[in-house]
Amino acid sequence: MARAPYKILSFDSPDELALAAAANWLTSILVTPGDDPISIALPGGRITTSFLAAITSHVTAKGLPLDRVHFYWGDERCVPPDSKDSNYRLAFNQLFDPLQINPANVHRIKGEMDPGDATTEASKDVRDTVPMKNGQPVFDWIILGMGEDGHTASLFPEESEADRNRTAVYRPVTTTKPPPQRITLGYPAIAAAKNVWVLASGSGKETALRESIVEGGTTPLARVLQSRDETLIYTDI
């Protein structure tokens, strides 16, 4: 029997999930050998607030160094950086500002720009700063969330097969969920990452998670899981 391409870690609450994911990530980066930069693409969503706050709490309490870490995003909404809908703003408030992260280590997707121009700029930045293999960046970590419809990053079920198969690192998308204009990593970039962790949290998502992990699942998250040898799922569902 083939091994499932994912591992599930279950928790009793969103706070327990966030604390465990933050602690595990910090432990992992501390034992990453060498002096090369460590890349992580962050998500948005409610559980991300708790995840980033937990990182800040651990780092502050233990004086852990994050100077090697470079921060990117799995997706961003096409809004200004001070908008309540901005994934960058969430990370700035919960992580970058409290820990005084070096701005040179923060690779923001400029959601206030024309989506095509912002996509081009973000893709170039990634290609210039993250190791590439077979045309895709090899992020050390990509952290993803999951929506009630099984979407992840800004990869939604209603996409055409042609769009799903695009090999662009980042691409602009128009979604049915507000705000509609977004920029997202594509499936190939997520598949190429060394580590992909999914923070699947919240009521109303039981069906989406079940349909994502079943063999032959068709949700966007299922497509991500099927494209990789292993993905770690942290869940309180």
Q: Which long-range contacts does 162-168 make (Cβ < 8 Å, 24+ apart)?
A: 164/223, 167/135, 167/136, 168/119, 168/123
Is the pLDDT at 34 greater than 90, yes or no? no
Q: Once rounded to an integer, what is the mean pLDDT over residues 11-23?
A: 97
- Cα–Cα nearest to 196, from 185, 209, 183, 211: 185
Task: Say which CATH architecture domain 13-28+36-66+79-228 belongs to.
Answer: 3-Layer(aba) Sandwich (3.40)
pLDDT tens column, 46-81: 999 999 999 999 999 988 889 999 999 999 999 999
User: pLDDT-derived band of residue 2, with 50, 70 and 90 as boundaries?
Assistant: low
Burial zone of 2 (CB within 10 Å; 0-12 exposed, 13-18 middle, 19+ buried) = exposed
Burial zone of 176 (CB within 10 Å; 0-12 exposed, 13-18 middle, 19+ buried) = exposed
Q: Where are the domains of the chain?
A: 13-28+36-66+79-228
Cα distance between residue 39 and residue 5, in whole Å: 23
Q: H helices of 105-185, where? A: 115-129, 161-164
Question: Rounded mean pLDDT of the chain?
Answer: 96
pLDDT confidence of residue 67:
95
- Cα–Cα nearest to 158, from 200, 83, 218, 227: 218
Residues 183 and 118 sit within 8 Å (Cβ to Cβ):
yes
pLDDT tens column, 141-196: 999 999 999 999 999 999 999 999 999 999 999 998 899 999 999 999 999 999 99
What residue type is 56 in one-letter code?
T
Coil/strand/helix, residue 76? strand
Cα distance between residue 71 and residue 141, in whole Å: 10
Cα distance between residue 214 and residue 138, in whole Å: 27
